Amino acid sequence: MQNSNDDKLNALTRGLWSNLKRKGNEVQAQFARRSTDPDKVSRLTNEFREIVGGLNAANVLAPIIEDEQRKRARWALDRATLGLHKLQDRPFVDSERQDAVERQLVTALQQFDEDEIVAAEVSARQLEALVDELLYASAVAEFDALQATFSHLTESQVTH
């Protein structure tokens, strides 16, 4: 359990947790040598106080960071879902690519449900970009089709 918690805290603090633990172990090892120099003991105490304060701050902030990551991932998934709904209403969307987007969205939602929050957010952001690309391609294809219709209508004037 401790290793899992360490891994989680390390990920949430972008490596700061492990760095503080390593420095704390080093300071403890230096202190264990029992220096008789009061200045050295005072310096080690001050350094250790900063390390302990950093670990406390990480413990307090980690749940907040995790909650914010979860919110960002949820919002990204919501935007990807809305984008997919927009695609369904658009003409000229490549159905194979739309099906691929749907499958990727299901995968991203599963990642979220399995607490793979960072992976879910990354997947959702990639989906957003893909949906934007498909919406653009659809709009261009629709414009091209309308342009062809326009040309056909204006070039072949009907006489009665």
User: Which pLDDT tens digit goes with each residue over 77-125?
Assistant: 999 999 899 888 888 888 898 999 999 999 999 999 998 988 999 999 9
Q: Scanning the structure block, which residue is given the tokens 């919406």?
A: 135
User: Number of C-alpha atoms within 13 angstroms, CB side, residue 151?
Assistant: 6
pLDDT, tens digit, 9 for 90 and up, residues 141-156: 999 999 999 999 998 7
d(CA 138, CA 85): 14
Taking the C-alpha atoms of 83, 85, 89 and 95 in order, what is their torsion angle to the nearest 10 degrees? 80
d(CA 28, CA 30): 5
Query: What pLDDT does 5 receive?
Result: 81
> Hey, what are 149's tokens?
């219709």
d(CA 148, CA 142): 10
Q: Scanning the structure block, which residue is given the tokens 């633990």?
A: 21
